[in-house]
Structure 1
Amino acid sequence: MEGLQKFPPRPTGAGEMFQLFRDGTPHTRASLVSETGQSRSTVAARIEALTAVGLLTPAGEASSTGGRPPSTFAFDPSNRIVLGVDLGATHARLAITDLAANPLASTQEPLAIADGPEPVLSWVAETGASLVAQAGRKVEELAGIGIGLPGPVDHADGRPVNPPIMPGWDGTDVPGILHRLLGAPVVVDNDVNVMALGEHRTVCPDEQDLLFVKVATGIGAGVVMDGELRRGAQGAAGDLGHVAVSGAAEIPCRCGNVGCLEAVAGGLAIAGALQESGARIRTTQDIVDLVRAGDVAAGQAVRQAGRDIGTVLAASVSLLNPSRIIIGGILAGAGEHLVAGIREVVYQRSLPLATQHLRIVTSRAGAQAGVVGAATLVTDRFLAPHSIDALITVKEDS
């Protein structure tokens, strides 16, 4: 994460204790002594340290069991802000959130990722700074910037790796550029990973094993297993769009291969098929609009795309055994046509044990999933025990 302290912090124990406050529940000193097994003086010192860096705030008094009511303390998410950025092939969504990923200001604009890193990232920085001001805050209050990109990302350094729909972006130092423009730490991931994280945290935090599938211009999946986002060895896990589909061996894909799922069932593929039949379509949103208007050909095309996606997801269900598959992206807005096609094939081709409790649903977080997930990437790092210990160390040394 560009801009973070490079040397290990002195362990204070306060960072670990703070994790008890992440869910927003207030605690008293006595309850913390009971939960942690630490002495009252140790707990008091750690509360004082966390209050000094602005992460805890007094939250009134708890009910008394006799004598003076004990004071409570709670997480103060307003202490710092985060810029969450969700970039797609043809759109950009940005939001300023607090440290609990609650949006404070947001915007959505058309933006072509193919314009290249310099104009796109400059626009992100300018628009992000404007949103900070709109939220009544200062850029200096940014705890970090989280950004999702529509292509493979090396999670270790935040650089895109041969992204098929992002010409000119390969190897771009996205964290370094944004850090120079806004002066805040930056973390970068694939856009579907951040959408999966946003959906998981806001809609189904108790779900341990799920797949989030984005169906738009391209197709990809975010994998959550054992409650954690799984990226794979090089961050390429979930690249469903470039799995070969049986019977599509001659169809070229933008990645350079042939027969990929994206080339068969992605937004561009559906638009191309409908254009050949005379439909006037320029964007993936036009497909959704046609389906909603009752166009039979568009509805059939989207349902067939769902079946094609289902053939790949059926293998994923057998391999990973998720309890939920969440369908997001622009084409998820086409009603039940897409999801019905997916369900039809997944339930038919997967083993009964794997589908016994499987739910296949559309995204409930919708367009906000990406920006909330991007912000969560930052807050998970900023509020990690070692990062909080570093904040306290700097505060004590200043």
Structure 2
Amino acid sequence: MSPAGRPRTRAAVFDLVRAARRISRVDLAARSGLTPATITEVVRELLELELVVEAGRGASTGGKPPMLIELNPEARYAVGVLYERNLCTVTVVDLTGRAMATSSSPGTSLMPPEQALPVVAERIGRLLDEAGIERGRVLGAGLATYGPQDRRAGVVLTHQPTADWFGHPVAGRLSELLGLPVLLDNDAVAAAIGEHWLGGVGSGTFGCLYMASGIGGGVVVDGEVYRGASSNGVEVGHITVDVDGGPCDCGNHGCLGNYADPRAVIGQAMRVPGLDRRLGLDPADSDVITSFVRIAAAASGGDPEARTLIERSARLLGTAAVTLTTLFDLECIVLAGPAFGAATWIYQSVIQDELQRRAFVRRVHPVRVVPSVNGSDAAAIGAAALVLQSELASLQLQELYRAR
């Protein structure tokens, strides 16, 4: 094998161990197509670098039970960030994707990026220090936020929350501040990646409905996240649910988000006599998620007017779930994001009912609706997982091999 080919082979074998979680050398050879001798040599090198460890014997198939290999969780780490208008969640995960430390704080709301990004970098640095993790052991950071965005260039292509954000090189600037590589991705896609990484779904083909201040979506097909032409697909918040509806900021009309996302539900609540006072809603409050969670909690607690609003939102999200299932023949829909909160069970029940009544494939196979295993931190954990499975991680591992 050529010197140039060896690092790529090591990275490929490492990724197979990651995907399998625990695997024998024999199975590594079978799945990689490499010779047993090559696998033996590569595993030896990975063991020397302490990136993998031996994890006991597997089941015997007639001969000596094989020695199993798994990742060494503490060998490297990754950072994940959810940057929302009203919320900033930072998490640090180990090499297996397990969250080691997480912190959430108010978002930077209307700050321009040159003010907001240093705040985010400071929060990341503080969390790493509190967790006792050296920067040299961090592969990079994933930044999950709303779109549209140019993922490759690392820029957002929206004027939200202020016009200063449009075209700003958020990934490059945050990378400079941290001294670490930074990958940009859509928050809903990141949540779907995290769900698949941690095996919470039990299916390789599923959809994710993500709700923070807005509504987004992600789809995983046969274990691979669906990207589309520019990684701006599955924007379910912008599918039309009312062809005669009013205009949306995206340029479409009658978009789902205009009727079902937290901002829409808050607006509806403000028009119900007395509900705003009862729930302490303030029309001037820019903290969308906190206000929405109050409505969701009231709905879960039995308030009939709040319950009516949340159930209507859930039925409309059910339309999005039916659409995704019809397009991609999904086995499961995951509900993720900080806005579901106390009303997750209402959304789960209503969306499940919509799928059972309306999904094209309902007579062929059931479509389950489940809450995210990562809860409100789904996008941040997924952003970190994105770093772990990216070419970035492979390239850094190659550099580690060369430095031996």
TM-score range, shorter chain: 0.7 to 0.9
Task: State yes or no: 1:158 paired with 2:129.
Answer: no
Matches of residues 1-398 of structure 1 in structure 2 within 5 Å? 10-12=4-6, 13-22=9-18, 23-25=20-22, 27=24, 42-57=38-53, 73-162=69-158, 164-165=160-161, 167-204=163-200, 206-246=202-242, 249-250=245-246, 252-277=247-272, 278-280=274-276, 281-282=281-282, 283-329=291-337, 330-331=339-340, 333-353=342-362, 356-381=365-390, 388-392=397-401, 394-396=402-404
Residue 137 of structure 1 deviates from its aligned partner by: 1.6
Alignment partners' CA distance in 2, 1:354 and 1:315: 16
What CA deviation, in whole Å up to 9, does each residue of 1:185-217 have, x standing for no partner? 111101111111112222435412111001332
Deviation track 1:112-136 (CA, whole Å, cap 9, x = no partner) reads 4432322221111111111111111
Partners of 2:55 and 2:369 in 1: CA distance: 41
**Displacement after TM superposition at 1:376 (Å):** 0.6
Residues in 2 aligned to 1:352 and 1:36: alpha-carbon distance in whole angstroms: 35
Contact 2:326 2:361 in 1 (8 A): no
Note the residue ranges of structure 1 that are not aligned, 5 or more in a row.
1-8
Instruction: State the distance in 2 between where 1:386 and 1:224 align.
Output: 25
Equivalences, count:
385
Give the aligned residue type for 1:308.
L
| Offset, 1:52 | 4.2
Superposed displacement of residue 48, structure 1:
3.6
Give the CA deviation at 1:153.
2.2
| Structure 2 portions without partners, runs of 5+ | 283-290
Query: Following TM superposition, by how much is the alpha carbon of 1:70 offset from its aligned partner in structure 2, in angstroms?
Result: 8.7
1:292 and 1:31 map into 2 onto residues whose CA distance is 49
* 2:101 aligned counterpart, secondary structure: strand
Contact 1:223 1:237 (8 Å CA) reproduced: no
State the SS of the aligned residue for 1:200. helix
Q: Once the 2 structures are TM-superposed, how far is the Cα of residue 272 of structure 1 from its aligned partner?
A: 0.9
Give, in whole Å, the separation in 2 of the partners of 1:73 and 1:237.
37
Query: Which range is displaced more, 110-119 or 34-43?
Result: 34-43
Question: What is the TM-score with the length of structure 2 in the denominator?
Answer: 0.84
Task: Please state how far the C-alpha of 1:360 moved relative to its aligned partner.
Answer: 2.1
Q: How far apart are 1:274 and its partner, in Å?
A: 0.9
CA distance in 2, matches of 1:192, 1:249: 25
Q: Deviations over 1:136-195 (max 9, x none)?
A: 122222111011002222222221122555542121212211111111111110111111
Q: CA deviation at 1:219?
A: 0.8
Instruction: Go from structure 1 to structure 2 and tell me whether the alpha carbon gap of 1:50 and 1:239 turns closer, same or farther (over 3 Å shift).
Output: same
Give the deviation of 1:42 after TM superposition.
3.4
Decide whether the 8 Å contact of 1:151 with 1:163 is kept in 2: no
State the 1:39 CA deviation. 5.7
Q: Is the 8 A contact 2:22 2:68 kept in 1?
A: no
For the 8 Å contact 1:101–1:375, the answer to whether it is kept is yes
Kept in 2, the 8 Å contact 1:267–1:331? The answer is no
1:250-289: CA deviations, max 9, x gaps? 3x43435442111111111111111111322242112122
- Aligned-residue identity in percent: 28
- State the distance in 2 between where 1:275 and 1:261 align: 19
Residue 231 of structure 1 deviates from its aligned partner by 1.8
| 1:301 maps to amino acid | L
